[in-house]
């Protein structure tokens, strides 16, 4: 009986949150577009660069190509963030999320999320953050100190936390759905990125080992 009541209560909350979303707002649709497009774009372009070096050839060097892609990803990220905020501004406030404790939780999420993103970028640098390994710009060793000792993917997880935090601060149910989509796209992006990156570094290590054998 207790479990049934809890389930009905959760179902009621879920239904109310869905009802608090205005799916017809253009800004909501545009935010979804950028959330889906951005990671899809950078994965396709990075794979093409790895196999064809088209950006490196076009810009004159691997580093210039990486910076070009980094700038493009950054600008697309700004567009996504702008429309995420605009989408929330155009949405009604959800009574369920209009609570002081939820607001406090939102602040903590934003702070933690931004710390993870900022420290991750600081440790990796521009080329480490923006897919430099696809351009042949590899790091000497894996970064294992903060924030990588508390988060497996601090850039993606920090970004997701920031979106969730901003959503809770604004009290908009639509933001929860958009944040879930951000998390889902990062999740699927990692399914493509992590094995491919591991292959790149494994190939580098194999080449190093072969050179050592020839040297001896």
Task: For 183-206, give one letter per residue: b (16+ CB within 10 A) or e.
Answer: bebbeebeeebeebbeeeeeeeee
Is residue 134 within 8 Å of 77, Cβ to Cβ? no
Residue (of 83, 80, 74, 35) closest to 181 by Cα position = 35
Residue stretches of the annotated binding site: 111-113, 193-194
Annotated binding-site residues for S-adenosyl-L-methionine read: 111-113, 193-194
Instruction: Give the other-Cβ count within 10 Å of 60's Cβ.
Output: 9
Output Rg (C-alpha) for the chain, integer angstroms: 21
Assess whether the previous peptide bond of 147 is cis (omega < 30° from 0): yes
Write the DSSP symbol of residue 92.
P
Cα separation of 150 and 152, whole Å?
A: 7
DSSP state of 94: P
Which segments within the chain are labelled E, that is strand? none
Angle between helix 26-52 and 173-215 (nearest 10): 10
């Amino acid at each position: 009986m207790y479990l049934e009541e809890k389930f009905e209560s959760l179902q009621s909350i879920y239904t109310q949150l869905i009802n608090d979303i205005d799916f017809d707002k253009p800004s909501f649709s545009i935010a979804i577009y950028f959330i889906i497009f951005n990671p899809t774009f950078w994965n396709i372009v990075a794979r093409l660069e790895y196999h064809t070096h088209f950006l490196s050839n076009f810009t004159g060097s691997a580093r210039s190509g990486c910076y070009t892609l980094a700038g493009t990803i950054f600008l697309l990220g700004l567009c996504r963030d702008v429309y995420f905020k605009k989408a929330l501004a155009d949405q009604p406030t959800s009574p369920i999320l209009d609570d002081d404790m939820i607001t406090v939780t939102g602040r903590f999420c934003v702070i933690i999320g931004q710390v993870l993103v900022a420290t991750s970028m600081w440790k990796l640098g521009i080329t480490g953050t923006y897919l430099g390994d696809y351009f042949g710009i590899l790091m000497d060793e894996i970064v294992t100190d903060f924030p990588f000792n508390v988060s497996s993917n601090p850039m993606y997880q920090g970004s997701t936390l920031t979106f969730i935090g901003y959503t809770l601060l604004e009290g908009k149910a639509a933001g929860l759905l958009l944040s879930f989509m951000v998390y889902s796209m990062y999740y699927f992006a990692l399914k493509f990125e992590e094995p491919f990156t591991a292959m790149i570094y494994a190939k580098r290590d194999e080449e190093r080992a072969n050179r050592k054998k020839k040297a001896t």
